[in-house]
Amino acid sequence: MTHRNLAKGEKAMRDINTQSDPDFTDRLINEHEAAAFIGHSVRTLQKWRVTGGGPQFVKVSKRSIRYRRRDLIVWIEARLRAHTSEEGVA
């Protein structure tokens, strides 16, 4: 994960509060936008789709994958911890 990707993901998270679009969290986004939103690489998202552990996704067709920001936010929120010894999802 590069610093650039992390910065994009952080900006996307901040922008949630400033969006006037009521469908912002439900609109489908591609894997590049999703990767930037969560601060990981596209390759990591692809790996998680095969091995599990990543955010939910929509399989639009055989070769088309999309994500909802709402699902990405839920996935992120499930991983919030107050300290490193706290149990929970990996």
Tell me the average pLDDT across 31-44. 98
Domains held by the chain: number: 1
CATH number at residue 19: 1.10.10
In-domain check, residue 46: yes
Q: Examine residue 10 and state whether it is found in any structural domain, yes or no.
A: yes
Q: What is the pLDDT of residue 46?
A: 97
Q: Is residue 60 part of a domain?
A: yes
42 domain residue, yes or no: yes
Residue numbers of the domain that contains 67: 3-77
Residue 82 falls inside a structural domain:
no
Q: What pTM did the predictor assign? A: 0.74
Task: Give CA–CA dist 86/4, Å, rounded.
Answer: 29
Structure token digits, residue 24? 């912002």
In three-state form (DSSP H/G/I as H, E/B as E, the rest C), the secondary structure along 8-27 is: HHHHHHHHHHHCCCCCCCCC
The answer to the question of residue 83 being in a domain is no
Q: 11-24: per-residue pLDDT in tens?
A: 555 565 545 788 99
